[in-house]
Amino acid sequence: MESSIIPGSANWFAITVRHQHERQTGLSLNWKGFETLVPCYKTRRRWSDRYKDVEVPLFTGYVFCRFEQREKIRVLNTPGVAKIVEFGGAPAPLCNAEIEAIQAAIKSRLRLWPSHYLHVGDRVRIERGPLKGVQGTLLREPDGLRLVIGVELLQRAVAVELDAETIVPVHASAAAGWRA
């Protein structure tokens, strides 16, 4: 995982936002010229008299934003921004590979949803299809396999449906315990 800020270049950061202001804050940051990512998924919600399909953020309370360290104040002064996720008093950059994996999952148009972040499990890589090259953690569910793509800094993850024929283990140790 990337653990340091690269001076003079834009890094991805997780930004905490006001309750239910992910999209609005993302749009405000875009308007200021920042690259943002507010991944969403569709779910069915129940009202007292009906059900409705709605689109909600995969990472509630967070917006991913790419910016240079010198632009920190402009980001913090954006409506809806609460703070930038930090460790040791300094903004903690996200791993580019994690953001790229989430973007690939979104572009794949496969069904995805929030998932519990897994600390254990088999690391796998997708060998073909729309997610080719994406790595994540294999999760077995009663109705099939899932690839869990985690954002370590936030201890959050998203899951995407998988075809077992597209998966290969990343490490030899993972291959020993993995059964499709």
Residue ranges per structural domain of the chain: 11-91, 109-177
**What pLDDT was estimated at residue 172?**
45
Q: 11-91 and 109-177: same fold?
A: no
CATH 2.40.50.140 fits 11-91, yes or no: no
Give the residue-averaged pLDDT of 107-112. Answer: 90
Residue 174 has pLDDT above 50, yes or no: no
The CATH class that applies to domain 109-177 reads mainly beta
Residue 144 has pLDDT above 70, yes or no: yes
**What pLDDT was estimated at residue 171?**
63
Residue 150 has pLDDT above 50, yes or no: yes
Average pLDDT, rounded, for the chain: 86
The structure's pTM equals: 0.72
Q: How far apart are CA 53 and CA 44, in angstroms?
A: 4
Contacts of 115 (CB under 8 A, 6+ apart): 139, 146, 148, 157, 158, 159
Which residue in the block uniquely carries the two structure tokens 């240079």?
68
